[in-house]
Amino acid sequence: MSDDAALLERRFRVMGRNAPLFYDRPVHLVRGHGVWVEDADGRRYLDVYNNVPHVGHCHPHVVEAIARQAATLNLHTRYLHETVVAYAERLTATFAEPLDAAVFTCSGTESNELALRLARYRSGGRGIIVSDFSYHGNSETLAAVTTCFPVPEPFPVFARKVPVPDPYRDRQGRDDGALGDLFAAKIAEAVRSLKAEGIPLAALLIDTLFANEGLPEPVPGYVAKAVAIVHEAGGQFICDEVQAGFGRTGDAMWGHQLSGVTPDIVTLGKPMGNGHPLAGVIAPAELIDSFGKAATYFNTFGGNPVSAAAGMAVLDVIEDEGLLENSRRVGAHVRAGLERLMARYPIIGNVRGRGLFFGIEIIADAGEKTPDPALTKRLVNMMRDRGVLLSRIGRYDNILKMRPPMVFTTADADLLLATLDNALAAL
Amino acid sequence: MSDDAALLERRFRVMGRNAPLFYDRPVHLVRGHGVWVEDADGRRYLDVYNNVPHVGHCHPHVVEAIARQAATLNLHTRYLHETVVAYAERLTATFAEPLDAAVFTCSGTESNELALRLARYRSGGRGIIVSDFSYHGNSETLAAVTTCFPVPEPFPVFARKVPVPDPYRDRQGRDDGALGDLFAAKIAEAVRSLKAEGIPLAALLIDTLFANEGLPEPVPGYVAKAVAIVHEAGGQFICDEVQAGFGRTGDAMWGHQLSGVTPDIVTLGKPMGNGHPLAGVIAPAELIDSFGKAATYFNTFGGNPVSAAAGMAVLDVIEDEGLLENSRRVGAHVRAGLERLMARYPIIGNVRGRGLFFGIEIIADAGEKTPDPALTKRLVNMMRDRGVLLSRIGRYDNILKMRPPMVFTTADADLLLATLDNALAAL
């Protein structure tokens, strides 16, 4: 047995005792391949959590691209380089007009910071609307508008939070139109409230998949209605694709495409470089040009040749291995399996998600839909002990979060479903 | 000839026309090795500018570490991993007590954002003092306190800017003590001004080498005096080591060690991963623990196994190749050569810097010390045409910025000096 306790103690000393760590018994990982990771004792785990290794842990095509470029040149974008331009061209080509230019950064945090600066520059306002159960980054401004976990910063006077519709709990007899209107009215209320305090709206910042909110089934038209109100108020719609992007949902390259609304600004992160710190902002060239003139925005590591090579290799693999189609097909297979489990286990309140991002809601009482976060936590740890890595999300922390690398197969899905069945039976 | 014009036009279209780019004729680089980079036409340039490839472009030890770890595992710090703990231990061991813990990030921006959050959390205040010619990052908060180039954001009500002493222009008969006191009084004035508006001080955020300010010769005791005032007001001293750190000055691993003052919080960036996006914050474990409890700070890419392996490899090379000693020795050689040039060319107002970070100030009139930014710009472009990459800094944009990779040799230095002589003679 490896001495994980000693490693943990050393970590506490030099990285702090409160740096986030998964599971009651932390996992000490040493290698990964495809959808599998292995701990220091040689035990293998099926990774049903990580979207950072988007095309699979240590995908050889991405590793080779990184290694080759790191050995050739790694500088910044104040010199010309072919790869970063070609990557920006290929990436922006996956977006609808007028989203035709890219600024590269190192993280979702940096992307959302830049998006807010762009939105405030364009709108002249400072007001920000976020969902009431969201997270968009760890900088001071983004931390302050975090609504899904406690932060020391006060919620800013320039921000408002709105609930997003979750049909499982909010429908209460309403049809889709009425449900969408109900929540759009809350956006309008937030705009009015900001205006009343003399704060013009700059942006609505949301993830249209509402991942942190717990992956609610989408209410048709809700996003379009909300964005119309935002545009009417002079604000920009910033779509955070850090979780939904790069084909995760199986039905589209970008989550916002499912809502039928083209954002004003899109932010990218986690899956973009398969683990290499690469992120970005997609916006109209006209906006980026105008802002760039006023702001001299420069990001030292953003879009360096190695990052661009990594990003390009990820796009290669998504295409070459048909990962959108895989996400759609395997996702549907998982969903059907989860629905079969729901029919057998009354603690599963519902099944949610699309493509390779799915969840089940754990409840204590089917009639009242009472969330059971303690049981959900126990289930997460039981799955870890059974060799499957996943986590939980949602307002009540009672939704299993399952978001495996995009190379997840139906065989992997069957192993997940069998293990989940086994854990549920053992509760 | 490669078609740089076409590449530039493509870049303008997808990355914006105002993304920063060096030189009147941008350089299209394709490979790098040691202190050399090569353009698409096979022309080689001596790199006297870049501190990102700190231990040399594409250093094989760092490349090998990145390639090996990228092929093994690349996840985040919510699992245990030996390398990131060992790297944190080795890195923090280079700092004086109580700087004994590390939080890893992806960029200097993220590091300074976290440092400000830590300082505000610890102090309970919001006030920030920066130098009046500085830059610490591209997030909205850090952009707003930028004082060395224009930004669209208004300078915040919670911030004050103070001039830093430059003996070349500010001495005016004062001895070191009087000069230090003069500028310390401006720190005290900033503290009072914040207090008068009900804004308690959170932090003084400076680079003790004052790189953007133009590398003024240090005024003995100035930093200690300023920090004493900041501490007295309940603020934290954040030292930005993004430019001065990792042995750059030759005389110490960290720039602040030359000032004899141990900061409360240190921020690291650019040179840390030799181009791999790696950065961090060093602070007392007690502060990080306390903040971590209140804030659940997590940085997805920060301190991932590949980043940690890159950082570790950089420390290996600094030690194995004696790069501190090299910086000190070659830096002294360059400085002597620059002083010989100054004796021959009256447009060189003075020579500044230490270790492998040095500058010469270009002036139009020796008596009045009139800065000549236009001539400086011309010189930068002439050096580029002669195969030497450098840039310019300082309040008047008239100081040649020379900051080569740390493997710069005396032969490289002689080439730089001869080329500079040639360019100066051709003016």
Q: How many CB atoms lie within 10 A of CB A50?
A: 24
The average confidence (pLDDT) of chain A is 97
pLDDT digits (tens, 9 = 90+) for A85-100: 999 999 999 999 999 9
> How close is the nearest chain A Cα to the Cα of B412, in Å?
20
Q: Which of residues 47-86 of B touch A (CB under 8 A)?
A: 50, 52-53, 57-58, 60, 62-63, 66-67, 70-82, 84-85
Closest by CA to A300, choosing from B23, B270, B149, is B270
- Weakest mean pLDDT among A1-5, A194-198, A416-420, B214-218: A1-5
- At A379, is the secondary structure helix, strand, or coil? helix
pLDDT digits (tens, 9 = 90+) for B353-362: 999 999 999 9
Query: How many contacts, defined by CB atoms under 8 Å, are there between A and B?
Result: 350
Give the whole-angstrom CA distance, residue B28 versus residue B37: 10
Instruction: State how far the alpha carbon of B65 is from the alpha carbons of A33, B54, B69, B70, B72, in Å.
Output: 18, 15, 6, 8, 11
pLDDT digits (tens, 9 = 90+) for B305-351: 999 999 999 999 999 999 999 999 999 999 999 999 999 999 999 99
Tell me if the pTM is above 0.90. yes
Which of B49, B109, B116 is the best mutation test for A, with the most CBs of A within 10 A? Answer: B109
A84·B8 Cβ contact <8 A: no
**Which tokens sit at B10?**
């493509």
Give the whole-angstrom CA distance, residue A339 versus residue A27: 29
B106·A101 Cβ contact <8 A: no
Give the whole-angstrom CA distance, residue A44 versus residue A40: 10
pLDDT at A420: 98
> How close is the nearest chain B Cα to the Cα of A80, in Å?
4
A31·B67 Cβ contact <8 A: no
pLDDT score of B114 more than 90: yes
pLDDT digits (tens, 9 = 90+) for B284-300: 999 999 999 999 999 99
Give the whole-angstrom CA distance, residue B143 versus residue B149: 10
pLDDT at A88: 98
pLDDT at A366: 84
CA distance between the termini of chain B: 28
pLDDT score of B34 more than 80: yes
Least CB-CB distance to B295: which of A30, A116, A143? A143
pLDDT score of B1 more than 60: no
Q: Given CA atoms B54, B56, B57, B60 in this order, what sign does their dihedral have?
A: negative
Confidence grade of residue B366 (pLDDT, cut at 50, 70, 90): confident
pLDDT at B367: 87
Task: Give the contacts of B78 (CB within 8 A, at least 6 positions apart).
Answer: A20, A21, A22, B298
- φ, ψ of residue B318 in degrees (nearest 5): -55, -45
Let me know if the fold of B4-55+322-426 is the same as that of B61-320. Answer: no
Given CATH 3.40.1160.10, say whether it is the number of domain B61-320: no
Instruction: State how far the alpha carbon of A415 is from the alpha carbons of A46, A132, A345, B368, in Å.
Output: 8, 35, 18, 79
Domain residues of chain B, as ranges? 4-55+322-426, 61-320
Radius of gyration of chain B (CA): 22
pLDDT digits (tens, 9 = 90+) for A34-75: 999 999 999 999 999 999 999 999 999 999 999 999 999 999
Confidence grade of residue A1 (pLDDT, cut at 50, 70, 90): low
- φ, ψ of residue A140 in degrees (nearest 5): -60, -45
Check: CB of residue A47 under 8 Å from CB of residue A389: yes
The H or E element containing residue A88 is helix A82-92
Cβ contacts of A120 on chain B, cutoff 8 Å: 140, 153
Residue carrying structure tokens 């020379």: B402
Cβ contacts of B58 on chain A, cutoff 8 Å: 70-74
pLDDT digits (tens, 9 = 90+) for A151-210: 999 999 999 999 999 999 999 999 999 999 999 999 999 999 999 999 999 999 999 999
**Helices A60-70 and A305-320: crossing angle, nearest 10°?**
160
Q: Given CA atoms B347, B353, B356, B357 in this order, what sign does their dihedral have?
A: negative
Name the residue in chain A with its Cα closest to that of B21.
A78
Cβ contacts of A29 on chain B, cutoff 8 Å: 73, 75, 79-81
What's domain A4-55+322-426's superfamily in CATH?
Aspartate Aminotransferase, domain 1 (3.90.1150.10)
Which of B73, B100, B304 is the best mutation test for A, with the most CBs of A within 10 A? Answer: B73
pLDDT score of A2 more than 80: no
pLDDT digits (tens, 9 = 90+) for A68-126: 999 999 999 999 999 999 999 999 999 999 999 999 999 999 999 999 999 999 999 99
Task: Give the contacts of B32 (CB within 8 A, at least 6 positions apart).
Answer: A72, A73, A74, A75, B38, B47, B53, B57, B58
Strands (E), A224-369: 236-240, 265-268, 279-283, 348-354, 357-365
- Chain A within 8 Å of B169 (Cβ-Cβ)? no
Give the whole-angstrom CA distance, residue B380 versus residue B401: 9
pLDDT digits (tens, 9 = 90+) for B226-282: 999 999 999 999 999 999 999 999 999 999 999 999 999 999 999 999 999 999 999
